[in-house]
């Protein structure tokens, strides 16, 4: 079963943000809780942890703006 990597809401009023950097490569094996990517909002940059363990499939592009809840990839 796969787990979607979703763009999270990290502030009360946050509606969108920028995917600043992937901290792992496409196809990498990750563990739950491992830093996965960096997102930037209008107020801060924050590392986001992996929601599960497995192999990462990246579908989102660095530098693009995403809305809260958008799918950035999956872990299978």
What is the predicted pLDDT for the residue at 29?
98
What is the predicted pLDDT for the residue at 67?
97
From the list 41, 39, 51, the residue with the least C-alpha distance to 76 is 51
Kindly list the structural domains of the chain, giving each domain's residue range(s) and its CATH number in brackets, ordered by start. Answer: 3-75 (2.40.50.100)
> What is the tens place of the pLDDT at every residue in 26-75?
999 999 999 999 999 887 899 999 999 999 999 999 999 999 999 999 99
Asked if residue 35 lies in contact with residue 55, where contact means CB atoms within 8 angstroms, the answer is: no
- Report how far apart, in Å, the C-alpha atoms of 42 and of each of 3, 16, 35, 61, 63 are: 27, 9, 21, 19, 14
What is the predicted pLDDT for the residue at 69?
97
Residue 12 pLDDT greater than 90, yes or no:
no
pTM over 0.85: yes
């Amino acid at each position: 079963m796969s787990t979607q990597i979703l763009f999270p809401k990290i502030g009360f009023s946050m509606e969108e943000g920028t995917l600043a950097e992937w901290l792992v490569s496409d196809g990498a094996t990750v563990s739950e809780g491992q830093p996965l990517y960096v997102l930037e909002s209008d107020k801060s940059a924050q590392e986001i942890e992996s929601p599960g363990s497995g192999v990462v499939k990246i579908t989102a592009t660095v530098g693009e703006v995403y809305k809260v809840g958008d799918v950035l990839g999956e872990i299978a």
